[in-house]
Amino acid sequence: MGNRVFTRLGAAALCLGMIHSALGLEARIDGVGGDVAANVRYYLDGLDAAQYSRSRVEGEVQRRTREAMRVYGYYSPQVTHRLAEGDPPGYVELMIEPGPRVRIETLDIRVEGDAAEDPRFREAVAAFPLAEGDPLVHAPYDRLRSRLANLSLERGYFDWRFVERRMEVRPHAESARLFLALDSGPRHRFGEVSIDGSHIVEERLRRMLPFTPGEPYLASELARYNQRLGQTGWFGSIAVRPRLGEAASLALPEPRLGFWNEVEVAGGELASRAAGADGPRLSGPALEGATALHRPERPEIPIDISVTPADRHRFEIGVGYATDVGPRTRFAWKQPWINRYGHGLDHSLSLAAPDQRFTGTYNMPLANPLRDSYRFQYGFRQRDNEDTRSLEATLEAARRWEFENLWVQTLFVRTTFEDFTQGDEEAQVVILYPGISWSRTRTRNPTFPNWGDSQRIAFEVSDGLWGSDADFLRMTGETQWIRMFGEDTRFVTRLGLGAIETDDFDKIPPSLRFFTGGDRSVRGYAYEGLAPRNEEGELRGGQQLLTASVELQRRVTGAWWGAAFVDTGDAFDEWLPDALNTGAGLGVRWISPVGPIRFDVAHPFDDEDNDFRIHFAIGPEF
């Protein structure tokens, strides 16, 4: 027992020692402030005083402090230090006299080659924040150097090189000369595209290319194509790469000397020795002339695409809970491809106490697989909720288009057989109705969007002319918006509209009538508990619908948010209702690993039988 106690105490002491060491050497600085002091602290933060002797720590403090000062142009600081008592010392007191600051005497930044006319390079050079006469700061120069190199690779200048890249610092003269010259060479263009490993007809993949051979190279276009291939669900792995020659440089070469050590030297002999030259060399102009003899006027870069098939069968199981429907379970069987044309087949079974559904969808992509497709769907649904009892079977054929602005247009024909009891009404109807819808969803961070909006509007029409049991024109529309104000305030609002124009309302099945109330509409009221009622007080459903909600969320701490909301709405028969049912309340949001969990307590202002209702749900708003 005693040994275990001592062992644990020893382990705890060791952990405390490691924590102390990990904190580094604290710097208490006098004489400078702002970014300069912060940089000194950053340099000293990595100094583990426990690993060195006291004299070595003093030397490291001096070296690192001066190095941190140089990058802000202070090359001759006077640094006095005092280490704290103890071994290792916990902090160091620094008295810094920064001395004169080096200023930029000459600034020469040039871009040569095809990139000289490229607007992106011009913008990068124009954004350089330093000018002649300004104090020297190393970071902007280093960032510009990296930016020009990255732009060269991103935009197809694979023969790029810095013909001049040096920073000359004269501390005694308090001046610096900055030179940076990039020769981009010619801009490469997209060349031949080769596809390897595809089980899908190659022409389908080529139709998704965002570029055509001969266009100027852009790395972002390759990333976009990679994303498009991933969105199809056809492939398990995807690699889209330019076929670069061995001489192409894909990395920014590191300088041999630190910027603060690159000082001007007289003559070329010393410079040659410093660079490691030990004999005759081919001059830059001679080398460029030799390589130019075999350089094509418009060089092209071939693109290699390698893919592997995705699993042909995928199975998913999901469980959840919401106060609207209670516990719910979902089983899904997905076949992302069933033939060489990329056709897919999905089946889904959803089970909840008031609602059970089984659906199957056959997807037939067209010339542009991500934007154009045919969809054939069938499904069965059984409902037993409040005063609604129904058994429904549906068939649908649809044509889908997605436009550049992300709007999706769907033209469909749907037939529904429904055997239902709604209140005191019983009927069996067959409804055949075509329709059209437009929808768009935009979001950032889908799990818990910090920005997003969703819109949908649909029109459906049924008529006895083509054998339908009811004549009607039905319209639905909804919109939802999410916006952030700062980092900790989130605003969510939504609006829903619906209308049915008909003289055969008693033949309209419950699946097409309007009901509201519940977690995602008017909180404070039962799920689909708001609608016109018959003389016995049973729900009948409405011909019109209006719902609206405003919610303000505020971060409390970390992944926890508080919410305050007001919901209003109703389903009704008249175009202008006399009043709407309103609920308001407070809630909590927790951004869990499986998605946001929402807990709300809502008070209904128009329900005398209930003072409040609790709403609980899992999942994002969209």
Residue 551 and residue 493 in contact, taking contact as beta carbons nearer than 8 Å: yes
Give the pLDDT confidence score for residue 15 in this predicted structure: 41
Residue 68 and residue 139 in contact, taking contact as beta carbons nearer than 8 Å: no
CA distance 580 to 556: 32
DSSP state for residue 464 in the 8-state scheme: G
CA distance 506 to 227: 49
Helices (H) and strands (E) in the chain, counts: 9, 25
Give the pLDDT confidence score for residue 453 in this predicted structure: 96
- Report, as ranges of residue numbers, the positions in the chain whose pLDDT lies below 70: 1-24, 245-297
Give the pLDDT confidence score for residue 245 in this predicted structure: 67
Per-residue pLDDT tens over the stretch 416-455:
999 999 999 999 999 999 999 999 999 998 888 999 999 9
Give the pLDDT confidence score for residue 207 in this predicted structure: 92
Phi-psi region of 340 (alpha: psi -120 to 50; beta: other; left: phi over 0): alpha
Residue 77 and residue 10 in contact, taking contact as beta carbons nearer than 8 Å: no
CA distance 525 to 537: 16
Residue 525 and residue 518 in contact, taking contact as beta carbons nearer than 8 Å: yes
Q: Per DSSP, what are the bridge partners of residue 436?
A: 411, 459
CA distance 36 to 413: 69
The token pair at 469 is 């049991």
Give the pLDDT confidence score for residue 340 in this predicted structure: 95
Residue 241 and residue 212 in contact, taking contact as beta carbons nearer than 8 Å: no
User: What type of residue is 560?
Assistant: W
